[in-house]
Structure 1
């Protein structure tokens, strides 16, 4: 039996720029896959190299992808076309582009709003609908969070609040270093019109004041929890006049008792519900993905303890050490067809 070949694809300008065998984020995983009897290839991707990579990638057994074109101001069209072609050639891709569309955009907040983890969420398919309905959403919450269909690192995430005694709105972008802006209604709508330019919807989620309890990130490999991350201060954390920087994320294994209730909810209830609502089969779940949750009540043991903030599926990095053996097991299972 031939040794399966696993490609690990990361962003870079050329093959000499980065390697998964030396990069701090991926070295331990590459070594673990090799120690498990898999042949690992380091692949550097950028859009200019997509055509040259097309044939070599089709000779792999599996392709693990850590590439996010949005970080460079590009979109995913070139990358997704390549991944679709590679997948059709029989290569297992860590996150299929179809799965990204189903659970890896902010739309998932709207599609799962009736689940235990759901919240008050609206979806605007176009700018006209946004102008018509957005103001009414303040009836249930004095602050809202507008989320672009796709984004990264806080880009495209905005806290919008009514200003007592004024007609305008205050707007705070979640991107690091942003400051609060005060806009008239006319200026506000003019600012957000361009978010609909590509024909993608805009998501409106109620502001969650429990952001002060921190954020827990649940890492999964397929349908099994692989670890957790906890971050006390995240983007949009209330800080008064002086902005505060996001704090460090601390990592924990899947066996951590602090989040045993979340592990149970995800594995026994929520992942199955997500698959059913969004039309995703178990083997189409990403090899590695995560879900971020607000902690609404640290002392509750009921499902309403957590509210979903977002799901990340296409470029999950860094990840806890506890996820490394789980990634290996999931890759080997899918490659062997077991």
Structure 2
């Protein structure tokens, strides 16, 4: 028997995403945005079923998940005002009883939140980064840091789509006045008293528990590189000229010039990203795993690390600054990524079968 490619018989995987009751009734592999993932799993001999989640039918979802051998989760931290506050306990319960879950909520809380920027600031991808654990600490420490260190980027701990991410800079010759720009698409710069802006941020302590403060990266207009990873291996790259935290032109945030460029996908062997791939696979992912005590089998089946260009080094080569890790809902993905996902799932199933457990 080819143990390396062995898949236990009658193996079923759930692909979980958010939706309503109508979506749940009509869900199939072929009307799903994850159709390429379904196909790649099938090619590896793994049956995958779509499971639609909403809080209103969470009990039905729980019973369904307890019948499968693994769960792949694609649910954003925040979606149309809904959070994962109820989903995460459900997934913990399911993972404790039978199947493995990827990404497990406890793994997300380690590496898929903005606090990862503070906890890993000592790695080669780190920058000038601080954490405020309370509103009192934020009010006491942030004003002086803003005055002395230049423009900052504040980030709520859990969020997506630019929600709760702000560029903040002091207004020259205007005491305690700041210019702020929300990363949410369609935002315009605002000028206001610093105290007023800080009060606006205080609710972030309730949902995410902290606020992360990074130095603004001046090379932001050169674009962002998204490094897609399956387990511990790079599965591809995405390159995009982003507009978040860049003031829109005079025509406003809806002008064509204010829209982000297309995300250009590349496979893992793209020549221009091999330095970043080497750093990720041989240095930064092992260091991340050691920092958070995450074993390789617990790394998400698909996740991504988003990088901005940092200052060039003494030889003129690019450096990279981590701006976030996405582990809750990493999509869209490069063409090569579904096959990488399927290989990682097959390995997780093989490991679970060898251990004699369902997780």
Per mean C-alpha deviation after superposition, the further-off stretch among 206-215 and 2-11 is: 2-11
Give deviations 1:46-86, integer Å, cap 9, x for gaps. 11121112122111111111122511212212111111111
Aligned 1:1-338 pairs, distance under 5 A: 2-14=9-21, 15-23=24-32, 25-68=33-76, 70-167=78-175, 168-198=177-207, 200-239=209-248, 241=250, 242-243=252-253, 244-296=258-310, 305-337=319-351
Residue 28 of structure 1, CA deviation: 1.3
Q: CA deviation at 1:89?
A: 1.7
Q: Which moved more, 1:297-306 or 1:96-105?
A: 297-306
Higher relative contact order (CA 8 A, sep 6+): 2
Task: Give the aligned CA root-mean-square deviation in angstroms.
Answer: 1.9
| TM-score normalized by the length of structure 1 | 0.94
Q: Which runs of 5+ in 2 are unaligned?
A: 1-7, 355-359
Q: Relative to structure 1, is the Cα distance of residues 302 and 89 closer, same or farther in structure 2, using a 3 angstrom cutoff?
A: farther
What is the rounded CA distance, in whole Å, between the counterparts of 2:208 and 2:226 in structure 1? 30
> Once the 2 structures are TM-superposed, how far is the Cα of residue 198 of structure 1 from its aligned partner?
4.1
Q: Is the 8 A contact 2:44 2:346 kept in 1?
A: no
2:312, 2:318 within 8 Å by CA — same for their partners in 1?
no
Distance change (3 Å), C-alpha of 1:205 and 1:61: same
2: CA distance, partners of 1:186 / 1:237:
23
Q: 1:327 to 1:119 in 2, by over 3 A?
A: same
Name the SS of the counterpart of 2:237 in structure 1. strand
Quote the Cα distance in structure 2 between the aligned partners of 1:260 and 1:129: 41
Assess if the C-alpha contact under 8 Å between 1:102 and 1:278 holds in 2.
yes
CA distance in 1, matches of 2:328, 2:40: 21
Matched pairs, number: 337
The structural deviation recorded for 1:240 is 5.1
Contact 1:117 1:304 in 2 (8 A): no
Alpha carbons 2:77, 2:160 under 8 Å: kept: no
Provide Cα deviations, 1:197-217, integer angstroms capped at 9, x if missing partner.
347111111100110221000
Distance 2:241 2:315 in 1: 20
State the Cα distance separating 1:105 from its structure 2 match: 0.5
CA shift, 1:19, in A, is 3.5
